[in-house]
Chains A and B, each alone.
Chain A
Amino acid sequence: MRTVMQSNPLSVFSFYAIVVCITAASSSPVIQLLSLIGAVACNFGYNTAKKAVFSIVLFVLMAILNPLFNTSGATALFFINDFAITLEAVLYGVSASLSITAVIYWFFSFSRIMTGEKIIYLFGKLSPHIALLISSVIRFVPMFLRLYSQSRKAQICMGICKNDTVINKLKCEIRVLSVMITRCTENGIITADSMEARGYGNINRTCFSFYKLRLYDIIYIIIYVLLAIVTVFAIASGCISFEYYPTITVPKASPLMYASYICWAALVFLPTLTQAGKEIKWKYLLSRI
């Protein structure tokens, strides 16, 4: 059994689609908070200090923004030039920015896990030509970056580019970009000719990938859907929805509410739990050597 993040791209993608959709669309702060904690736990062990600072700043900005534009709400906290800042608007702003921060955190791990080949596996079947285009761009970018720094150094070395003032630096960048365009397009034509010589375009193109849809991938997808259905059903029946305007109404406790919270928490923490299980097994096996 593999962890959630190691399973087939299809099941990873459906996990993210379900979690992100429900997080972005729900108005319950409990759901949003659980989702945020799950997303942060998912990034545990990776250096995300910069991203954390960015998302905290975003969180504060977003939370401030709402009360400045929204005056509906019964409890006024204070007035700025006859403009009421209400408690309800502040809390609504906090809830909205919770959901946005959670979504952004999910996407931090999404961009780490969904590498180029997985994206090509998912969407390459629609059009093999476009899959080829994307995969060749992924290959070209690091190569061209290397060429770029080479050409830049050569230009500076020859004394054509001066690396002193801002204007000269800008001129240098544009000159190097222009050099790169000539060099890369010429090389590209040669690549294309060699592709054709090896039989590109003679028969229909297929995409190579070593991902297989195994039984546990399907089981994972079924688990996600079942857990999500309970949560969505609870949201639809309105038994976990918070009302902000005019006054805050907290939903009454009901079995469905607790069930949906538990299901949502299980869904959100599933990647972390499977990962932790794997780590514990690894440590245990190491200790027995």
Chain B
Amino acid sequence: MNTLKKVIRYSIPFVIMPLTVWAGTFLPFKNNYIIISCIIAILSILLFYCSFDTKKLSSRRLVLCAVMSSLCVIGRFIPFLKPVTAITVISSVYMGAEAGFLIGSTSALVSNMYFGQGPWTPFQMLAWGTIGFLSGLISPILKKSKCVFIIYGALCGILYSLVMDVWTSVFYNGSLTISLYISAVVTSLPHMALYTVSNVIFGIMLFKPLGKKFERIKLKYGI
């Protein structure tokens, strides 16, 4: 099992991904981009999953990850407001980058079981996972001040929407053209505003209480 993981860890970025892109230029279809980008997204999620040292993931951390990502899924049921990004960012700030990726990607996968899977699932998993991973990496800065945290949350909302717009226009046209991308961005502006506003609101309301809770749990159970 471990050797298989090692093989996957080294072969995906250096062998399989370049090979896929290279083979993609020979595909007989006209709209190659969407298939190739889907495959690359799935491969990068696999790479993340395989390269995590899951032995370090004790049962308490694992269950905490599961709890936080199921709370994210529940957050998607709240009408109009989407606390998913806020919860992912806060929990990955306190639990680390790897846990952040796990929480983001798992909540995207499981919530799509309720809201409908689609060709967007791998991209959503990757986008949310990356948000969690990044916020785990810059956690010392985010922990310090609430202001930076809220700005970061707003940025995350905007970036998530922009990344998903790339997907929309590639899926529609088979390739990325500037005018189509701009129109996709414009049509998704309400969504972007919704994401940003709800990230800011939940950031303001949840930053302190959630931080306290995580600190307390760390202190109480020694995670």
| Complex-state Cα separation, A99 to B184, whole angstroms | 18
Q: How large is the interface on A (under 10, 10 to 19, 20 to 34, 35 or more residues)?
A: 35 or more
Nearest CB in chain B: distance from A237 CB, A:
8
- A104's nearest neighbour on chain B, judged by CB, is B118
On whether the beta carbons of B118 and A107 are closer than 8 Å, the reply is yes
On whether the beta carbons of B74 and A145 are closer than 8 Å, the reply is yes
On whether the beta carbons of B172 and A96 are closer than 8 Å, the reply is yes
Instruction: Write the B54-81 contact mask toward A (1 if CB under 8 angstroms, else 0).
Output: 1001111011111111110111011001
Q: Which residues of B contact A144 (CB under 8 A)?
A: 70-71, 74
Q: Which residues of B contact A189 (CB under 8 A)?
A: 60, 63-64, 217, 221
On whether the beta carbons of A127 and B75 are closer than 8 Å, the reply is no
Given A110-B117, A137-B107, A141-B110: A27 touches B63 (CB 8 Å cut-off): no
On whether the beta carbons of B60 and A192 are closer than 8 Å, the reply is yes
Picked from B50, B59, B81, the residue with its CB within 8 Å of the CB of A192 is B59
| Complex-state Cα separation, A182 to B67, whole angstroms | 11
Q: Is A280 an interface residue (CB 8 A)?
A: no
Given A25-B29, A130-B102, A189-B63: A148 touches B74 (CB 8 Å cut-off): yes
Q: Is B179 an interface residue (CB 8 A)?
A: yes
On whether the beta carbons of A181 and B110 are closer than 8 Å, the reply is no
On whether the beta carbons of A20 and B32 are closer than 8 Å, the reply is no
- Interface residues in chain B, defined as those with a beta carbon under 8 Å from any beta carbon in chain A: 1, 5, 8, 27-32, 34-35, 46, 49-50, 52, 54, 57-60, 62-71, 73-75, 77-78, 81, 83, 102, 106-107, 109-110, 112-114, 116-119, 171-174, 177, 179-180, 183, 201-202, 205-206, 209-210, 213, 217, 221
Given A133-B102, A188-B67, A189-B60: A126 touches B46 (CB 8 Å cut-off): yes
Picked from B58, B69, B213, the residue with its CB within 8 Å of the CB of A137 is B69
Q: Which residues of B contact A111 (CB under 8 A)?
A: 112-113, 116-118
| Complex-state Cα separation, A270 to B180, whole angstroms | 36
| Complex-state Cα separation, A201 to B62, whole angstroms | 12
Q: Is A174 an interface residue (CB 8 A)?
A: yes
Q: Is A185 an interface residue (CB 8 A)?
A: yes
Picked from A69, A185, A232, the residue with its CB within 8 Å of the CB of B217 is A185
16 contacts between A and B (CB under 8 A): A24-B119, A25-B29, A25-B31, A111-B118, A119-B109, A126-B8, A133-B62, A134-B110, A141-B110, A174-B205, A177-B75, A189-B60, A191-B63, A193-B60, A195-B63, A241-B30
Nearest CB in chain B: distance from A85 CB, A:
15
On whether the beta carbons of A177 and B213 are closer than 8 Å, the reply is no
Picked from A127, A133, A184, A191, the residue with its CB within 8 Å of the CB of B65 is A133
Nearest CB in chain B: distance from A244 CB, A:
10
Instruction: Write the A103-133 contact mask toward B (1 if CB under 8 angstroms, else 0).
Output: 1100110110011100100000011011011
On whether the beta carbons of A133 and B1 are closer than 8 Å, the reply is no
| Complex-state Cα separation, A130 to B53, whole angstroms | 11
Nearest 9 CB-CB pairs, A to B? A236-B28, A25-B29, A140-B70, A192-B63, A129-B54, A188-B67, A111-B117, A136-B66, A192-B60
| Complex-state Cα separation, A138 to B112, whole angstroms | 11
Picked from A68, A145, A188, the residue with its CB within 8 Å of the CB of B66 is A188
- B217's nearest neighbour on chain A, judged by CB, is A185
Given A182-B213, A235-B28: A177 touches B49 (CB 8 Å cut-off): no
Taking CB atoms and an 8 Å cut-off, the chain A residues in 89-107 that contact chain B are 96, 100, 103-104, 107
Nearest CB in chain B: distance from A198 CB, A:
10
On whether the beta carbons of B210 and A178 are closer than 8 Å, the reply is yes
- B34's nearest neighbour on chain A, judged by CB, is A24
| Complex-state Cα separation, A232 to B97, whole angstroms | 42
On whether the beta carbons of B35 and A116 are closer than 8 Å, the reply is no
| Complex-state Cα separation, A144 to B58, whole angstroms | 23
| Complex-state Cα separation, A133 to B99, whole angstroms | 11
